[in-house]
Structure 1
Amino acid sequence: MVAGRNSVVEALRSAVPAATLYVASRIDADDRVREAIKLAGERGIPMLETPRGELDRLTDGAVHQGLAMQVPPYAYAHPNDLIDPEAPGIPLIVALDGITDPRNLGAIVRSVAAFGGHGVVVPARRSVGMTASAWKTSAGAAARIPVAQATNLTRALEDYRKAGFFVVGLDMEGDVDLPDLDLAREPLVVVVGSEGKGLSRLVRETCDQIVSIPMSSAVESLNAGLAAGVTLYEIARRRR
């Protein structure tokens, strides 16, 4: 289920397969609601006027803003699908290691879209997936940025290295500070670990370099979404 006005409109604009559009009874319609209804009508997607209580239940309590859309299960890409020689710009992929909060995934997908990245990789097990909450937090960017699922993240990172990528991991105790990252202009996979545990041992050993974000001593760490956003911004700035 995709919930929220921006997420629903972006999904409809991108022709994401959909089964039903749910519109809250007596909704305060704005341009996004009107566009969603128009696009759904053009595509022949059934529309149901639904009580807000029922929308709350259908979206598992997400902030749906009176608009939600039922979609098939997310179709994950294969990690190799993110290697596209025809894609514009220098290749840039973000891999998640141990991230379990869907809001972090959504925020990272949004940052990847904002700063010219080409995709996100998540492990198939013990990891967050593309839930309605992740879609919501991405503000629709998940309709444009592919998310791949890796059966074995370490092996996927090794395959990227064989394809000419450098793999850099984010960690508080890095080999180099982010502003000094000389690899910024190379094809990159940026690996983001969980806020609590950081990078797993095997993933860390697979990285070509470990990068840290300089911060005030009063702040111990950033959450995964913020850390990824700061890193992607700096890489994009260095590539200009």
Structure 2
Amino acid sequence: SHFLGQNFAKASGIQFQNREGKQEFGWTTSWGMTTRMVGTVVMMHGDDDGLVLPPRIAPTQIVILPITPREDTRAKVLEACDALALQLRGKRFADAPIEVEVDRRDLGGGIKNWEWIKKGVPLRVEIGPRDLEKNSVTVSRRDQPVKDKESMRMDEFTARAPEILVSIQDLLYARAKEFRDANTHVINSKKDFYDFFTAKNPSKPEIHAGFALAHWNGSREVEEQIKNDLKVTIRVIPLDGSSEPGQCIFTGEPSVRRVVWAKSY
């Protein structure tokens, strides 16, 4: 992050009323959140088949794929796809209408399916002549193996679509939290800290995916020393963590809470 002072606030006329009731130019910071957040989503949730987007941030939450092997059934299939899309758009997820797209492109079903897999769309829905005969749809969730499919009655899927999107959102969050927690370690000594972040093979250091929760006395000099020694920096001071008085593992001085240390790449 970068502290920008009042320079941009003065240039843009950004003011606020301070405690004395006077207008004052804002003090601004820059965190570079956009590209970092995109990268985090890709790396945290993606797999070998492409993106996996949480439904809350997916621009398309459900894609409907018409399966039209014969020209004589094409019109009926497309009509059913459009009707389903209209019903789904009338449903709400995360306080907004569900975002639905019908892929009407004249491409093979396999090609279209893999394109949407790579784009990470949460739900793929196939409708073909056989589905119409049974008044059903074939549903695939992006948070499950790509070959997993489930046949559902069309009316059942329409009713349950918001619930399924919630399920995907919750599962992706749970997976990410489990991964983070499994790779976060409480460290109580300088030796253990250095051992944790020291490469096992210095000539070919491995990518270190761990987080260390350790006490720190707030000294910039200590932080700079750790950065020089191990290329490790403080990644975040948890806002939701309760104060846990202790001793800085580097100096033995008092510390009011643990901070998160890690390597960045």
When normalised by structure 2's length, the TM-score is 0.18
Higher strand residue share: 2
Please report the TM-score for the alignment, with normalisation by the length of structure 1: 0.19
| Higher relative contact order (Cα pairs below 8 Å, separated by 6+ residues) | 1
